[in-house]
Structure 1
């Protein structure tokens, strides 16, 4: 999702990068300013031992994509829960409790 939003993948593959990598909070965005431009940095020590670097546009796109994904996930969860309302509870002794003994 990061690359699709416009972030660049930068591996921590040199001693200098590894040292700088350790100073960043893992799995959290950091806002950095370099030469008057704003960049967002996301270190991933778990999967790739790399950082993702993007500008404000990439960050905005990523946030929007995550919002859309979360919304779609919630809509799917709601649809799944609503589908259970039509399920036949009869063979199980009724719903919610008659015939159910714990």
Structure 2
């Protein structure tokens, strides 16, 4: 990612960031459950927005992600879906870090001399 890319990513709205996360949740196997009744709407408003919660359900755990603003829904997934989501996030972070590292060193003609490098040597 170039400096311009970083600037654009930094300017991405919170709404866009949430939408990106929700696309990743759906790809990982989470299912969107709309708050399409007054009862569901009331329950959705009680949850912390845009955060994961664990909910025991029988002999397993469900992972719930609430979004009262963008989709007005809950995303519900099992342990496998949560694991896939976490793997995706880690892979994306690594890819972003590798791209930034590559971009930092791509211009061999950069002349530190006129900037007074200050590296102590």
TM-score w.r.t. structure 2 length?
0.70
Matched, 1:58 2:48: no
Per the alignment, residue 61 of structure 2 pairs with 38
In structure 1, how many angstroms separate the alpha carbons of the residues matched to 2:109 and 2:74?
47
Deviation at 1:89, TM superposition (A): 4.2
In structure 2, how many angstroms separate the alpha carbons of the residues matched to 1:78 and 1:46?
35
Per the alignment, residue 95 of structure 1 pairs with 114
Matched, 1:78 2:97: no
Q: Deviations over 1:9-61 (max 9, x none)?
A: 11111111111101111111000012232100001123211110000000001
Structure 1: stretches of 5+ with no match in the other structure: 98-102
Matched, 1:2 2:21: no
2:50 counterpart SS class: coil
In structure 2, how many angstroms separate the alpha carbons of the residues matched to 1:87 and 1:9?
50
Structure 2: stretches of 5+ with no match in the other structure: 1-23, 117-121
1:63 counterpart SS class: helix
The RMSD of aligned alpha carbons is: 1.8
Moved >6 Å (runs of 4+)? none
TM-score w.r.t. structure 1 length?
0.83
